[in-house]
Structure 1
Amino acid sequence: MLTDPLRIPADVWSDRVVCELLSRRDIGGLFCRLIRLTGASQTRIGAAVGLEQGYVSRVLGGRKITSIEVLERIAKGLDMPDESRVALGLAPTRWPCHHDMARPAEQRQSDTPVDRRWRDDLRAAVRLWEGDVNRRDMIRQTAFASSSYTLPALRWFTAPSGPPVNASGRRTVGQPDIDTIREMSATYRRLDNQYGGGHVRDTVARYLHQEVTPLLTDGQYDTRTGRSLLSATAELTQLAGWQAYDLAEHGIAQRYLTLALDLARAADDAGLGAEILAAMSHQATYLGQAAIGIDLARAARQTARRVGLAVLAAEAYVMEAHAHATARDEGACATALHQAERTLDRADRSGNPQWLSYFDEAYLSAKFAHCFHALGKASPAERFASRSLNMDERYVRGKAFNLALLASVQLRRGEPERACTIAAEALTLTAQLRSSRAVRYVRDLQAQLAPHRTRPVVRQFITRVDTALGTRR
């Protein structure tokens, strides 16, 4: 019936193409995409948004819509979520329109986040896992947007406590179920470090969808058990996001990390929340979004301090330092690195959670090296990159990263042949991994060495990269 509401699946609004169309205010393209995704006719679209079919046809033909009144009617008729309204240039319906990322963090934190309940977060997570496992295009093609990290981080600090986390389903959930999820997380994390995110990324998504979803949606648990269950789920969801990030699936990684943060908030697990914020900062900086990387690192640090996790606070400092280095702010970078060293010196590691075990002296040295390398300071970069190789051999991907970093530093120091020798070790490890980040570092080295290809050693390395990696980019 034309009078019935037009039902658009929630995942449509995170579709990469839809997001791009909204940002360009391309309503004709939006209508065309909705028709393709939902099967609705022009008449059906028109009825939903209060426009004649002929007008819809002209919009599909290229007519531009600039009237805010008409855009509001379309947004309301399509029941757009606030994030989509903002992308279209309209005010959100549930929080004040102070979404500009260019404003200072202090001002942005006065915004009021959407009041989400834990069941809303749960439903969103279940939809994501299901769509990911079923390889739905609207999820798999999600694009990364730095502004999409603003609201979850703000919600982390300011959202009020929701209703108790309990349920009265048919299946009793107990500590053994939670322990199993944590054991699986530890196993998947070990495989991720040893073989790369692509080795078990799909397996983790299936485990969340097939094993964890029934516990959450059909389980019977009290508040204490419910919080533990959400915490364990958030930890595994964060790992899934990290693996997607390692595979350069940045949009879907962002969705996983965002939902992991919301689940950690519902579980009242501030330590895990700080770790997730640090991971979000890591991704943003990697993608060149230094400003959001700095904000997220500071949010992680404040949270880590609140719960007394000094090691995690030190990690947040180095994440902030790396973002400052990416922005070429040498003074702020130096300050953050100094604070990271001081904080780590005072840290008591005895009470650290298992998921924080990777942060050690080698990891810290690698981050220092990245910072100095980004700032063009080859001598300290070489010193710290060399130190970073004194590491736990189980972190194979991390060693590939650190070798590639040291090779890049040697090249900057004017030692292309020495760089090739070190890069050859990185290539050997990278060829065994399923990690787009590792491949990117080696390919970047290959490109940087190209001006020196008249040297036999360099030419041999460039050829070896193509042989080992083939078409991998």
Structure 2
Amino acid sequence: MNTTERKRQFGAYLARLRRDARLSQRGLAERLCRVSGVATLTRNEVSRWERGARVPDAWLPALAVALAVPLGTLERAAAYARGEDEGRLPGAFATLAELLPPGDPLEPGDGNSGRRIGASTVAALAGRVHGLRLADDVLAGGDLIDRAFRELSRAVQLHRESSYDEPTGNALLVQIGELSQIAGWIASDAGQHAQAEHAYQLGISAARQAGDGTLVANLAGSLAYQHANTGRELDAVDLAQAALDEAGPSAPPQTRALFFDRVAWAHAKAGRTHAQQAMRALGEAHEALTQEAPDPAPQWAYWVSREELEVMDARVYTELARPLRAVPLLRSVLERYDATHARELALYLSWLAVAYADANEPEAAAETAARMFELSADVASERTSERGRVVLRRLADYDDVPEVRELLAEHPPG
């Protein structure tokens, strides 16, 4: 790819970020002027960037602030556009721009061009996809996002540029769907929500073409989970229910349990008026897991278990301000959880801290929160950081308690 094409790619990427921020070109120019204190930028200059006529070198720090994008991501994408990192893939956002060219990104070639691939190639990809899932168990989104989207870019390229028979093509689409799901999950954990949504949508397209309704449901449910956590609770309720319906009653019990859990979480985040629906969905998740499975669950559902359902139970109880139910479950989970899973431990401690606060136990809440912040200090997870902010806001109600006051002094609420 030559530099002109790279600049156009960067421009398309920047335009998508602007639209995701719900800004016009003029609105972005005005915001950049406010952020930078320089009042000379016009809409025309933003237009030049988006057409690929120029790369906004000096404006990258202000763009990072204005569009809520990590500066490092913008700098890598800009360096790629200028041809300064030849041989390397761009950062995650720019990679996605390449992944989604005009037209259907999953449209294959004519079946006669490119190298011929077979089952062994798809099996190797499946191994890397599962390896990425296992890595996500112990590493945070910020550590994995570039690797995840490099793999996704290569998988889409393999689909577009190779030749294969129909079974191999369907199997490849399934792996693209699974890879899109874990890449979206990783991006969401890193706080790159627009990036995650695009990945989930790509995966849904791949899974639909492959005729894998359970995988479609997993991708849609993952997107519903993100919606629930980013202020789109009612959208999450609708999408989580649609995902469950998509899977249907014949889906493997482990997957149905997961989809019911996502329905429960969406209702819990939608507020206490949805409490009954949330509690009902939790019960249905446990019921689903007790059913006999005529077929084995897909590999991506390896982690769904009774213990993991209890985690969701406790989180839903905390969201619904039912600490007498939440606290015992969370304490039990934390006692048996592997210490190598620092992100998950920190997240569960955050819900326990809130539950203690709801139970009017501010000293226990402060002690739990302190453990959470210690565990998450070096974890590159925006989801964990946001949970920390939630805990601090909740504990601010107890700032007259010495233990809480000490914690707030060390970790001032943002």
- TM-score, normalised on structure 2? 0.74
Are 1:443 and 2:389 matched, yes or no?
Answer: yes
Q: Of 324, 348, 353, which aligns to 2:267? A: 324
**What is the aligned partner in structure 1 of residue 290 from structure 2?**
345
Q: What is the DSSP-based 3-state SS (H/G/I as helix, E as strand, rest coil) of the residue aligned with 1:388?
A: helix
What is the identity, as a one-letter code, of the residue corresponding to 2:333? S
Q: Does 1:198 align with 2:154?
A: no
In 2 relative to 1, CA 335–30 (structure 1 residues): closer, same or farther, beyond 3 Å? Answer: farther
Partner of 1:389, secondary structure, is helix
1:337 Cα deviation after fit: 2.0
How far is 1:410 from its partner? Answer: 0.6
Shift of 1:25: 11
Taking the aligned partners of 1:32 and 1:235, their CA distance within structure 2 comes to: 40
Matched, 1:369 2:317: no
Q: Which residue of 2 aligns with 1:212?
A: 155
Cα deviation digits, residues 174-200 of structure 1 (max 9, x gap):
222112212112222222221211111
Aligned-pair distance for 1:255?
Answer: 0.6
CA distance in 2, matches of 1:266, 1:237: 14
> Partners of 2:364 and 2:246 in 1: how far apart?
42
Partners of 1:426 and 1:326 lie apart in 2 by: 22
Q: How does 1:125-164 map to 2 (within 5 A)?
A: 133-135=89-91
CA distance in 1, matches of 2:20, 2:141: 28
**Does 2:184 match 1:241?**
yes
Q: Using a 3 Å threshold, how does the CA distance of structure 1 residues 434 and 15 change in structure 2: closer, same or farther?
A: closer
TM, length-normalised to structure 1: 0.66
Equivalences for residues 7-22 of structure 1 within 5 A: 14-17=16-19, 20-21=22-23
Whichever residue aligns with residue 200 of structure 2, its letter is L
User: Residue in 2 aligned with 1:182?
Assistant: 126
Q: Identify the match of residue 344 of structure 2 among 375, 398, 408.
A: 398
Quote the sequence identity (%). 25
Instruction: Give the alignment of 1:361-440 within 5 angstroms.
Output: 361-389=306-334, 392-393=337-338, 395-440=341-386
2:278 to 330, 333, 337: 333
Measure, in 2, the Cα distance between the counterparts of 1:269 and 1:140. 23
The answer on 1:314 being equivalent to 2:257 is: yes
Distance 1:202 1:138 in 2: 10
Closer/same/farther in 2, CA of residues 460 and 133 from structure 1, 3 Å limit = farther
Look up the match of 1:269.
Answer: 212
Partners of 1:238 and 1:276 within 8 A in 2: yes
Equivalent in the alignment of 1:231? 174
**Residue equivalent to 1:105:** none
Residue 398 of structure 1 deviates from its aligned partner by 2.0
Contact 2:253–2:288 (Cα < 8 Å) also in 1: yes
For 1:443, what is the secondary structure of its paired residue?
helix
1:316-345 deviations in Å (ceiling 9; x for gaps):
222112222222212222222222222222
Q: In 2, are the aligned partners of 1:195 and 1:432 still within 8 Å (CA)? A: no
Q: Relative to structure 2, which stretch is displaced further, 341-350 or 318-327?
A: 341-350
CA distance in structure 2 between the aligned counterparts of 1:165 and 1:383, rounded to whole angstroms? 56
Q: How many residues align?
A: 354
- Once the two structures are TM-superposed, the CA of residue 307 in structure 1 deviates from its matched residue by 4.4
Give the aligned CA root-mean-square deviation in angstroms.
Answer: 3.6
Largest Rg, 1 or 2: 1
Q: Is the contact between residue 400 and residue 426 of structure 1 (CA under 8 Å) also seen in structure 2? A: yes
Gaps of 5+ in 1: 1-6, 41-129, 142-161
Shift of 1:276: 0.7
Residue type of the partner of 1:255? H
Task: Work out whether residues 362 and 387 of structure 1, in 8 Å CA contact, stay in contact via their aligned partners in 2.
Answer: no
Shift of 1:349: 9.3
1:38 partnered with 2:51: yes
SS of equivalent residue, structure 2 residue 22: helix
